[in-house]
Structure 1
Amino acid sequence: MSHTKPDISGRDDLDLLLRRFYTAAFADPLIGPFFTQIAGTDLEVHLPRITDFWERALFRTADYHRNAFAPHAALHAVEPLTAAHFGRWVQLWHATVDGLHLGPNAERAKAQGERIAMALLRRLSGRDADTSGTGPGFVPLAAVELRAAA
């Protein structure tokens, strides 16, 4: 009997997904230090806010009125966020979503994650940022390879 993964269906799923994602992101040698050392992120404080963000993005059921760009700009001022950093974020996001969920909301979450990463990279790096996926950094490509290997 094969067991298919459920789609992301609400806040409880997002909470588990985001906990798993941030556990991986904090431990990642490339992007972890942005959370642990530079930002000093307290996951228990951060998680309800980011869950609100994703609940609004996917289901339009939560209020999120914060400026999502500001904390990334503050990090970027201390240590530049590069295409490689955003690419790694996308790769981990795809792997985490794919590990737990399958369905239209999961696909939307992955696509939204890529759009957000590209928008932040463009805004932080200026108009000439390479978000084509062909240059030495941004990796929706890695996420695609990751998906193909699954």
Structure 2
Amino acid sequence: MDQRPETDLDSPEAIHQLVQTFYGRLLDDPVMAPVFLETAGVDLDHHLPTIEAYWRKMLLGERGAYTQNMVAKHEAVHAKQPLEPQHFERWGAHFHATVNELFEGPYADKAHRVADRILINLQTWLLETQR
């Protein structure tokens, strides 16, 4: 029997669980792991708390939690190795699967919408505008 999660994505602890699980999936993906570890050279000890701060800002409205320019960070990665549509598709699939597996409720629904907006905006900017 398929059990739906009973927890919403409405606390810093839930966001921590989301980010940890989501990045576990990304780093197990043979297409995505090299983008993060080799091309971007991500230091996970620094990166994951930054990503958690981003999602706390987006979902919980925490002011000052995230102050970086996300687009500029992705432009730098794209300049080293162009991101392809498959990268965006896989990122989205892993994100949505993680949220669906762990969370249910209005905050989880909002996370899906925010992620879709991120994907559309970054793809449009990096793959169409930056040609």
Asked if these proteins are the same fold (TM beyond 0.5), I'd say yes
User: Which residue identity lines up with residue 58 of structure 2 in the other structure?
Assistant: A
Aligned to 1:42: 43
Structure 1 residues 62 and 51: CA distance shift in structure 2, 3 A: farther
After TM superposition, give the deviation of residue 73 of structure 1 in Å: 0.6
1:82-101 residue CA offsets vs partner (Å, 9 max, x unmatched): 11110110000000011110
Whether 2:77 is the aligned partner of 1:75: answer yes
After TM superposition, give the deviation of residue 62 of structure 1 in Å: 4.0
Instruction: Give the counterpart of 2:106 among 76, 82, 104.
Output: 104
- Identity rate of aligned residues, in percent? 34
1:27-57 residue CA offsets vs partner (Å, 9 max, x unmatched): 1111111011111212111111111111111
- Return the TM-score normalized by structure 1: 0.79
Q: Which has the higher contact order (CA 8 A, sep 6+)?
A: 2
Structure 1 residues 100 and 62: CA distance shift in structure 2, 3 A: farther
After TM superposition, give the deviation of residue 70 of structure 1 in Å: 1.4
Unaligned regions of 5+ residues in structure 2, if any? none
Aligned to 2:96: 94
Structure 1 residues 52 and 128: CA distance shift in structure 2, 3 A: closer
1:61-106 residue CA offsets vs partner (Å, 9 max, x unmatched): 2422110011211111111111111011000000001111011110
Q: Does the residue aligned with 2:48 lie in a helix, a strand or coil?
A: helix
Please, what is the CA RMSD of the aligned residues? 1.8
Aligned to 1:55: 56
After TM superposition, give the deviation of residue 3 of structure 1 in Å: 6.9
| Aligned equivalents of 2:18, 2:121: Cα separation in 1 | 22
Q: Does the residue aligned with 2:69 lie in a helix, a strand or coil?
A: coil
Aligned length: 128
User: Which residue identity lines up with residue 111 of structure 1 in the other structure?
Assistant: R
After TM superposition, give the deviation of residue 59 of structure 1 in Å: 1.2
| Aligned equivalents of 1:83, 1:104: Cα separation in 2 | 29
Quick check: 2:5–2:102 contact (8 Å CA) kept in 1? no
Unaligned regions of 5+ residues in structure 1, if any? 130-150
| Aligned equivalents of 1:128, 1:35: Cα separation in 2 | 21
- Return the TM-score normalized by structure 2: 0.90
Quick check: 2:9–2:107 contact (8 Å CA) kept in 1? yes
Q: Does the residue aligned with 1:7 lie in a helix, a strand or coil?
A: coil
| Aligned equivalents of 1:3, 1:29: Cα separation in 2 | 29
Runs of 4+ that moved beyond 6 A: none
